Amino acid sequence: MTARILITGAAGIVGTLMRTRLAAPDRTLRLLDIAPLPAAADGERVELVTASVTDQAAMEEACAGVDAVIHLGGHSLERPWAEILDVNINGTHVVLEAARRAGVSRVVLASSNHAVGYYERADGEAGDYLFPKPDTYYGVSKVALEALGSLYASRYGMDVIAVRIGSCFEKPRDARMLSTWLSPDDGARLFEACLSAPSPGFRVVWGVSDNARRWFSLSEAEALGYESADDSEVFAAEVLAGGEPDPGSPAMAYLGGAWCTPEFDTAV
């Protein structure tokens, strides 16, 4: 059991979903965000830190004494390049460097399907370690995050696992998410596997539930010990009340869905 874990971006959607699910009696979660975090509940073993992932000194302090870092911090949607560069790319470097300096040997990084969003669905199930094909600046930042993780694993012998998360929400929100959904409970199972797998070195795994309509491989995640227990199909009738989706629509044709359409072009 990993005793003390730093979670960056803990006030975000995934961070909030993981806060209760990664809690354990013999574990302390150090939750970090620039946004306000709900106060500790009675008996909840958490430490709350207000800091930016771009602040090297604050991140080193936050890494002191932890056994592992789960780095979820950063913009979770497309933004102008300068913001992506600062928060997502530089922020990931700051976090990895802080972990290294603090002697934290295991870091789990939140990557995304958008690192490979421009692959077409017609190419079949998306395998592990797909070569990058980002669909946005955000996707580029996740490619950079994976590259930085690889560098820190190779150069400093750290264990770094990048999770290409599909869509981690309470429930799938649209037809595409029936394929890309990572249930919150499966997300916690996957993070636990990433925290406990013996000497994984550098890995890139898909973060997805075993959905009947799944687009992404489970192989590398399962090799770490992950076992999905959920399937989005239980929500299919509700999600598809308006009918089955057009497989040729951009939302269904690319792994990254609508992120591959002109609406997501924020080039400035």
For the question of residue 138 being annotated catalytic, the response is yes
196 touches ligand 15L (CB under 6 A)? no
Q: Is 180 in the site for ligand 15L (CB under 6 A)?
A: yes
122: exposed, middle or buried (Cβ count in 10 Å: 0-12, 13-18, 19+): exposed
Instruction: Indicate the residue among 100 and 164 with the shorter CB distance to ligand 15L.
Output: 164
Query: What sign has the CA pseudo-torsion 155, 136, 89, 124?
Result: negative
Whether 71 and 110 have beta carbons less than 8 Å apart is answered as yes
Q: Which two tokens stand for residue 109?
A: 């990084």
179 near ligand 15L (CB under 6 A): no
CB of 82 vs ligand 15L, minimal distance in Å? 19
DSSP state letter for 8: E
Tell me which DSSP letter residue 199 carries.
Answer: S
Q: Which of 119, 129, 137, 138 is catalytic?
A: 138
- Residue 69: strand, helix, or coil: strand
Burial of residue 41 (number of CB atoms within 10 Å: 0-12, 13-18, 19+): exposed
167 scored as a contact of ligand 15L (CB under 6 A): yes
In terms of CB distance, is 63 or 162 closer to ligand 15L? 162
Q: Which is nearer to ligand 15L, 35 or 41 (CB)?
A: 35
User: Does residue 88 bind ligand 15L (CB under 6 A)?
Assistant: no
Pattern 97-126, binding to ligand 15L, x per CB under 6 A? ---------------xxx------------
> Tell me, what DSSP letter sits at residue 164?
E
Longest CA–CA span in the chain (Å) reads: 53
Counting contacts by CB under 6 A, is residue 76 touching ligand 15L?
yes
* Site for ligand 15L contains 19 (CB under 6 A): no
Task: Show which residues are catalytic.
Answer: 138
Which residues here bind ligand 15L, judged by CB under 6 A? 76-77, 112-114, 165, 167, 177, 180
